[in-house]
Amino acid sequence: MKKLSQSVSYEVKDGVGVLISNNPPVNAMSYHVRQGLIDGLEMAQSDENAQAIVLHCEGRTFFPGMDITEFANPNVLEAPTTTGVIEKLEGASKPVIAAIHGTALGGGFETALGCHYRVATPSAKLGLPEVKLGILPGAGGTVRLPRVLGVQKALEMMTSGNPISAGQALAGGLVDEIVEGDLLAGALAFAKNVVSENKPLVRIRDSDDKLEDARENRAIFDDFRKSIARKTRGFKAPEAIIRSVEGTVSLPFDEALRNERDLFVECLKSPEAKAQQYFFFAERGARKIPDVPKDTPTRAIQKVGVIGAGTMGGGITMNFLNREIPVTIVETSQEALDRGLGIIEKNYASTAKKGRITEDDVKTRMSLLTGALELEALADVDIVIEAVFEDMDLKKTVFEKIDGICKPGCILASNTSYLNINEIAAMTSRPQDVIGLHFFSPANIMRLLEVVRGDETSKEVLATCMKMGAHIGKIAVVVGVCRGFVGNRILGARMRQSDDLLKKNAMPKEIDKVVFDFGFPMGSFAMRDLAGLDIGWERDKTPDKDTNIRHQLCTRGRLGQKTGGGFYDYEAGSRVPVPNAEVEQIILDASEKAGVTRKEISGEDMLKRMVYAMVNEAAKILDEGIALRASHIDVIWVYGYGWPIYRGGLTYYADQIGLDNIVADLERLSTEYNDPELEPAPLLRELAKEGKTFRDYVRLDHLEA
Ligand code: 3H9
């Protein structure tokens, strides 16, 4: 075996030259991989003993694309480039076969498309996820993929960034053979067959039949734009992908490649791409807990107990059933239990109807679900997740009871969204086994899971819950104990500003527009209408009833979308908020009764009040050690609350604005609006004074080494 670079080597097997990449952990196409491949291709072509060439990766996966860390390097587009590798592959005088396992993504998949043939394991996945990094496939993907799949399917694949299975790739002509068993042996056999049968060197660049339809029907592009407009609002890369494919259809191959390159460079330099790439690593960083190393022992979770079959309990249960983990769900009455189980079954049936799962899947999942009316049914589960009403006394009683019922080693988790886990843990004889698992509603869909670490929670329990979260498809982020944890505490800061704006300055539609235009899916008041205004509302206990706008709306039966109106009106079957004159009058009356003289405010200041109040709260949260890193807060806000990912995250955004600018604005706004909550937090002041960013700040001194 000949070593060509630190990651690539070459050897001949059965008359076939094999180029092997080994660049752990995932074979990213770093500089030395690209250089090794270029040198290896030259060597293989001039090697008389090699009649064909196989491209093979060691380790867990085929190339998942360019090394993303290199994008920060201004010389990233200089030789040896991925495009250079692909040109050599495509132009090779001997057949080149890509042997794909794991994931062929981005530049890795583009490299495979440059080969004359592709074989793959049945479990392999192929895709162009660049859009998720704010860029477009820049090594020929937008020019080659439509030549195989046709324009519509290629656009769908590239603008979603979602990979397809090997089976789908075979059906679409992207893969020539699925190899059962040993991949390299299968690829070698395939290569020898190409040679013995004298098969052609298939170059995707040579065929463009699949582009014909789009050439005759250019409207396909605008139709496509419209179809993805809602989902891609604010993102740059999807439009760049469409423009590049327009080039593919109208330009000769090499010109289309140049067009793609120009668009790629434009995207790469954009703030959106930088933010999205930051987020890629932030998300992976959320798995790392400094004092809980990777090799911390974990407990097996083979049976789960859920207490409460309401909306949260049902949604939580589905996560486990989806992974074929049995769940026992406990309710206090047969009626509530039947209702809860019925909803789960109905949800699965509707998913099956849409073709996303099979009828057999529904049966299997439902067969793993047991209902019970006594907590004793949880005696042998490995974890209990309590999802009862958000009431401390009730939760304490439940934990005291299950402590006496559950087997030793069983993890006792609460799905509280606000309450103090330490107080709950103190009701048990095993506080080391108690933890918070804050799922977000709908719990079977939302990806975020706040894992609340109590003072006594053991590292083993924490590591188990992080692992379990990933297993059920969640983005798990560890947080400390405080009211509302990270997500809801920061949401509270924004809500208080929106409420104050409502009372003193602006109408719901004006305030919500600012938030929506910033990139959130909806504003504060539309969000409340969706959740229901009566959540947490107590008619008799509400103070200052005359000036409390929510109270005024609730007493008029305006409880939100579910009653056809709240802060807005909703037409039957519609979720589009429509401003209502009566509500606006209620708001004006409330201001008057409170003795407030309403005054105009600019959209810019509204945004600053809401977002900078969030930044301020984030600084307090970091200072208190409730979040371990600023990037954790960003992950929570993107996955739990729809923070626009092309702005990186709350603290990343603040860093871009400059913490000194934010401090100056907060000082101005806190004086102008006489609001102590807008006074800059000590940590924010400190970082701003030192010219630092949130990214510079790591506070781990409260953790044991
Ligand atoms: C591109 O190709 C542009 C082209 O069009 C060419 C233009 C000219 N680079 O996710 P994991 C790290 S753009 C650098 O936990 P998994 C990752 O940070 C690229 N590092 O594993 C982590 O590090 P750590 C398009 C990378 O098994 C470790 O590897 N491609 C890269 O759950 C393990 O990662 C993509 O966007 C990379 N490309 O999933 C694909 N990839 O351990 C990006 C991973 O220190 N990658 N790392 O935290 C993925 O989607 C997943 O990593 C993959 C494995 C599915 C491959």
Q: How many angstroms is it from 28 CA to the middle of ligand 1? A: 7
Separation of 559 CA from ligand 1 center, angstroms? 45
CB-CB contact of 40 with 5 (8 Å)? no
Taking CA atoms only, the protein residue closest to ligand 1 atom 6 is: 107
Which residue's alpha carbon is at the smallest distance from atom 47 of ligand 1?
26
Distance 670 CA to ligand 1 centre (A): 43
pLDDT of 416-441, one tens digit each?
999 999 999 999 999 999 999 999 99
Q: Could you tell me the distance, in angstroms and rounded to a whole number, from the CA of residue 27 to the centre of ligand 1?
A: 9
- The answer to whether the CB of 263 is under 6 A from ligand 1 is no
For ligand 1, whether the C-beta of 130 sits within 6 Å is yes
- Least Cα distance to 350 among 472, 226, 442, 232 occurs for 442
Beta strands in 59-204 (DSSP E): 96-100, 103-105, 117-120, 125-127, 164-165, 177-178
CA of 138 to the centre of ligand 1 (A): 16
Residue 289 class from Cβ within 10 Å (0-12 exposed, 13-18 middle, 19+ buried)?
buried
Ligand 1 centroid to Cα of residue 97, in Å, is 23
Helix, strand and coil in the chain, % to nearest 5: 50, 10, 35
Closest ligand 1 atom to residue 280 Cα is: 18
Give distance in angstroms: CA of 103 to centre of ligand 1.
Answer: 10
Which residue has the least CA distance to atom 32 on ligand 1? 284
The dihedral sign for the CA sequence 42, 47, 49, 51: positive
Contacts of 691 (CB under 8 A, 6+ apart): 660
Q: Cβ(61) to ligand 1 under 6 A?
A: yes
* Whether residue 305 has its Cβ less than 6 Å from ligand 1: no
Q: Does 284 sit in the ligand 1 pocket, CB within 6 Å?
A: yes
Atom of ligand 1 nearest to the CA of 105: 30
Phi-psi group of 155: left, alpha or beta (phi > 0 → left; psi -120 to 50 → alpha; rest → beta) = alpha
- Percentage of the residues of the chain whose pLDDT score is greater than 90: 94
| Residue 65 CA, ligand 1 centroid: distance in Å | 7
Ligand 1, atom nearest to 77 Cα: 8
pLDDT of residue 699: 64
Q: Are 464 and 301 in contact (CB under 8 A)?
A: yes
Prediction pTM value: 0.94
Residue 529 has pLDDT above 70, yes or no: yes
With a 6 Å cutoff on the Cβ, whether 181 touches ligand 1 is no
In 252-291, alpha helices (H):
253-268, 271-285
Residue ID of nearest Cα to ligand 1 atom 53: 64
Side-chain-side CA neighbours of residue 520 (13 Å): 22
Q: Is the CB of 294 under 6 A from ligand 1?
A: no
Nearest protein CA to atom 39 of ligand 1, as residue: 26
**Could you tell me the end-to-end alpha-carbon distance of the chain, in angstroms, rounded to an integer?**
43
Active site residues: 110, 130
* Dihedral (CA of 180, 186, 191, 193) sign: negative
Whether ligand 1 lies within 6 angstroms of the CB of 591 is answered as: no
pLDDT grade for 573, boundaries at 50, 70 and 90? confident
Q: Stretch 13-29: mean pLDDT, rounded? A: 97
* Mean pLDDT, range 215-236, rounded to an integer: 96
Atom nearest to 141 CA in ligand 1: 5
Query: Ligand 1 centre from 118 Cα, in Å?
Result: 21
Residue type, 601: I
pLDDT digits (tens, 9 = 90+) for 472-506: 999 999 999 999 999 999 999 999 999 999 999 99
User: Is the distance from the beta carbon of residue 161 to the nearest atom of ligand 1 less than 6 Å?
Assistant: no
Q: Which of 128-137, 244-253, 532-541 has the lowest mean pLDDT?
A: 532-541
Please give the distance, rounded to the nearest whole angstrom, from the Cα atom of residue 8 to the centre of ligand 1: 18
C-alpha 266/C-alpha 648 separation (Å) is 18
The partner residues of 82 in beta bridges, in order of sequence, read none
Q: Report whether residue 477 contacts ligand 1, using a CB cutoff of 6 Å.
A: no
- Residue 82 Cβ inside 6 Å of ligand 1? The answer reads yes
67 Cβ closer than 6 Å to some ligand 1 atom: yes
Q: Is 527 in the pocket of ligand 1 (CB under 6 A)?
A: no
Greater pLDDT, 74 or 461 = 461
Q: What is the DSSP string of 175-222?
A: -SEE--S-HHHHHHHHHHHHHHTT-----GGG--GGGHHHHH-THHHH
Mutation probe of ligand 1 site: the residue of 7, 21, 23, 26 with most atoms within 8 A of C-beta? 26
Give me ligand 1 centre to Cα 703, in Å: 29
81 DSSP assignment? P
Residue with CA nearest ligand 1 atom 48: 284
Ligand 1 pocket residue status of 282, Cβ below 6 Å: no
Confidence of residue 705 (pLDDT cuts 50, 70, 90): very low
Residue nearest to atom 5 of ligand 1 (CA): 137
% pLDDT > 70, the chain: 99
Mean pLDDT of the chain: 96
How wide is the angle at C-alpha 439 spanned by C-alphas 497 and 366, nearest 5°? 145
Q: What is the mean pLDDT of residues 20-37?
A: 96
> What was the pLDDT predicted at 77?
74
- Verify whether ligand 1 is closer than 6 Å to residue 103 (CB atom): yes
Is there an atom of ligand 1 within 6 Å of 129 CB?
Answer: yes
pLDDT in tens, 607-652: 999 999 999 999 999 999 999 999 999 999 999 999 999 999 999 9
Q: Tell me, what's the pLDDT at 73?
A: 79
- Pocket mutation for ligand 1, best pick of 37, 68, 86, 474 (most atoms within 8 Å of C-beta): 68
pLDDT for residue 642: 96
What are 537-566's pLDDT values in tens digits? 888 888 888 899 999 999 999 999 999 999
125-127 β-sheet, strand order: 103-105, 125-127, 164-165
* CA-67 nearest atom, ligand 1: 9
Question: Which amino acid residue places its CA nearest to atom 54 of ligand 1?
Answer: 26
